[in-house]
Structure 1
Amino acid sequence: MTATPVLVLLDHAADGTLRPPVRELLTLARTLAGEAPVEGVWAGAQEPTAALPVLAAQGVSTVHRLVADADLHLSAVLADGLVAVLSATGARLLLAVSSFENKEAVARVAVRTGAGVVTDADGVAVEDGRVVTRKTVLAGSWTTRCAVTTPVALVTVKANSVTAEDVATPTLPAVVEHVVPVSDAARRVRLVERTERADSGRPDLGSAHVVVVGGRGTEGDFAPVEELADVLGGAVGATRVATDEGWIGHDAQIGQTGVTISPRLYIGAGVSGAVHHRGGMQASGTIVAVNSDPDAPIFEIADFGVVGDLFTVLPQAAAELRRLQA
């Protein structure tokens, strides 16, 4: 790769604060950029004012703020903006948090530009001038290396893949506006309504360092799961059975047809470990399983297993953690 900027898509909340995985991506971008600058892409109506101190601490030189007469939350409109920034900067690498929305947007960029795409990577390096990524496939049973052979690489990276670190000397990021030429194709879709989810006070499932998951064994009672998650400061997840039964919302589903997670600590309570669920969590750092069935498949991949009733084990664990925290 030549000394062109490394771009990072700056995912942020409605109040303009950066989502936690973005700091990880910026740290990763610095290791890949070498002497080249790290630059951010900001999409949304808000000014990036609240995020500038964090971006400065991460060594970002420039923030490219996208301005459009269409909703930048739509993947086609965002893709138009990303194409414009890639062209203006000459960047050959764009990093984004691995979310449903971002994967759809970079796929559109790839169609427009012929760039190579790798999604759900948990490692990125530059080798012999090429971007090489690491990712797990086949329900987490294989770890692969993928080299991007096209001039431009678009990579979505799983949360918790990198430890975020600030630079020794903060920068003073410049904000540059880009008026996005929205294509006719992007205007075919119109956002008519948006409903904000109620804030649970817990971290986002896809980026949480700790996730406590309930399965069929909860029989619909997620109270012990939620209690332990709150003590640990973690997120609450679920298997497909639990969401299909209506015990918890579908946005909590983890697996091949749900959210893919890679927390530092995964705790599965009453989770059997079916292959479609394992495909969404097997990259977790430490896996703890609590199940009354000693032959449950999840014990095959667990680092620590407890054969017991989750309604006894989880409250005891929560109580002990509270005692230690006190």
Structure 2
Amino acid sequence: MFSYGSKRLSNLIVNGIKRFNSTLVIAEHDNANLSGVTLNAITAASKFGGDVTCLVAGEKTASVVEQLSKVKGVSKILVAENEAFKGMLAESIAPLVVSSQNQFKFTHIVAAGSATGKNLIPRVAAKLDVSPISDIIGIEDHETFVRTIYAGNAVTTVRCKDAVKVLTVRGTSFEAAETEGGSASSEQFAGDGSSNELSQWESADLSTSDRPELTSAKIVISGGRGMKNGDNFQLLYTLADKWGAAVGASRAAVDAGMVPNDMQVGQTGKIVAPELYVAVGISGAIQHLAGMKDSKTIVAINKDPEAPIFQVADLGLVADLFKAIPEMTELCNK
């Protein structure tokens, strides 16, 4: 009969749990490049211990598989190539994920908290008859997670007892996995999903820009209702080009038709956490704060000294933005 101290026994149990954990990460991509948010999801998945498997679904994905094979922490890549997976439609990908779960019995299924992940994960959870846990910002152990509620105004810790935990993770809460040092193997996976009759991918019109991607930029300048019209956003574009920054917008600006909705920062837009966030003409509605309040430094420019944005800002400038922004741009030229 063996006798163990309580601390040693606890470590044995924890290590045993980690050894039996296995996580599937849904890889997002455009058939050519791996999405940055997938690297954040891989970091979150690695916290469970055990093997991390990535699922790449699409067509002609060899470039994506090659990139993913070098990511540190990835053990294996499942490659499912079919024309039906174009655009990563949830109606096609969800049955594929369920098939992989039935075959490999993962303990966790993880996707980034992006538009794709938010669309896919609830469908996967419903098919597996488990509860999805969305937008987690912390992991305490293999079944205990931290997430925000009430538009980020409260933080809750939840424990999930389901056999498989189905999650989306907030990318800004986890560091990106290293893109070098990995040696993952890949294998073809022919699961269900190619028989989707509910929806069909037609086309996508993607805007292109030399500026950094909004969710990964170190500096973000966002405009709100105070910009008055879309033409005035050129003031922010000019300053952003000087700083090497990305340009975002509040929901009010998007709803007013000033800018496209892929620029929206907030609870129903993109979640960002740059080194510097500059809010220009933004009042500071809760919906917007939920998407940017994790930024390292927040600067607010607003002519209303009572604007709520000043309550969360590290630095505030009470001024007319149509004078302040050109002056800031001019200083960059000196």
What TM-score does the superposition give when structure 1 sets the normalisation length?
A: 0.86
1:134–1:144 CA contact under 8 A, matched in 2: yes
* Aligned partner of residue 110 in structure 2, secondary structure: strand
**Post-superposition offset of 1:270:** 0.4
* Aligned partner of residue 29 in structure 1, secondary structure: helix
Q: For the structure 1 residues 119 and 232, does the alpha-carbon distance in structure 2 shift closer, same or farther, using more than 3 Å as the test?
A: farther
Q: For the structure 1 residues 267 and 76, does the alpha-carbon distance in structure 2 shift closer, same or farther, using more than 3 Å as the test?
A: same
Query: What's the C-alpha RMSD, in Å, of the aligned pairs?
Result: 2.5
Superposition pairs for residues 144-159 of structure 1, below 5 Å? 144-159=156-171
Matched to 2:198, the amino acid is R
1:57–1:170 CA contact under 8 A, matched in 2: yes
**Post-superposition offset of 1:71:** 3.3
Superposition pairs for residues 1-326 of structure 1, below 5 Å? 1=17, 3-14=20-31, 16-33=32-49, 36-68=50-82, 70-72=84-86, 73-126=88-141, 130-166=142-178, 170-182=181-193, 186-191=196-201, 193-220=202-229, 221-320=232-331
Report percent identity of matched pairs. 30
* Aligned partner of residue 230 in structure 1, secondary structure: helix
**Post-superposition offset of 1:321:** 5.4
Q: Distance in 2 between matches of 1:321 and 1:159?
A: 31
**Post-superposition offset of 1:45:** 0.6
Matched to 1:199, the amino acid is T
- In structure 1, the gaps of 5 or more residues are none
* Aligned partner of residue 279 in structure 1, secondary structure: helix
Q: For the structure 1 residues 41 and 233, does the alpha-carbon distance in structure 2 shift closer, same or farther, using more than 3 Å as the test?
A: farther
1:116–1:149 CA contact under 8 A, matched in 2: no
Q: For the structure 1 residues 83 and 233, does the alpha-carbon distance in structure 2 shift closer, same or farther, using more than 3 Å as the test?
A: farther
User: Deviations for 1:103-151, whole angstroms, at most 9, x for unmatched residues?
Assistant: 121111101102331222222231xxx4222222212211222222211
Q: Distance in 2 between matches of 1:115 and 1:321?
A: 54
Q: Distance in 2 between matches of 1:315 and 1:272?
A: 20
Tell me which residue corresponds to 2:3: none
Q: For the structure 1 residues 264 and 139, does the alpha-carbon distance in structure 2 shift closer, same or farther, using more than 3 Å as the test?
A: farther
Higher percent of residues as helix: 2
Q: For the structure 1 residues 229 and 89, does the alpha-carbon distance in structure 2 shift closer, same or farther, using more than 3 Å as the test?
A: farther
* Number of aligned residue pairs: 314
Matched to 1:286, the amino acid is T
* Aligned partner of residue 292 in structure 2, secondary structure: coil
* Aligned partner of residue 85 in structure 2, secondary structure: coil
Q: Distance in 1 between matches of 2:159 and 2:107?
A: 14
1:259–1:280 CA contact under 8 A, matched in 2: yes
1:212–1:229 CA contact under 8 A, matched in 2: yes
Matched to 2:200, the amino acid is R
**Post-superposition offset of 1:180:** 2.4
Rg: which structure is higher? 2
Q: For the structure 1 residues 216 and 54, does the alpha-carbon distance in structure 2 shift closer, same or farther, using more than 3 Å as the test?
A: same
Q: Distance in 2 between matches of 1:151 and 1:264?
A: 38
* Aligned partner of residue 30 in structure 2, secondary structure: coil
1:117–1:148 CA contact under 8 A, matched in 2: no
**Post-superposition offset of 1:95:** 1.8
Matched to 2:22, the amino acid is P
Matched to 2:158, the amino acid is C
* Aligned partner of residue 241 in structure 2, secondary structure: helix
Q: Distance in 1 between matches of 2:119 and 2:45?
A: 21
Q: Distance in 2 between matches of 1:116 and 1:203?
A: 35
Q: Distance in 2 between matches of 1:314 and 1:144?
A: 39
Q: Distance in 2 between matches of 1:71 and 1:183?
A: 7
**Post-superposition offset of 1:288:** 1.7
Matched to 1:4, the amino acid is N
- Deviating beyond 4 angstroms after TM superposition, the runs of 4 or more aligned structure 1 residues are 318-323
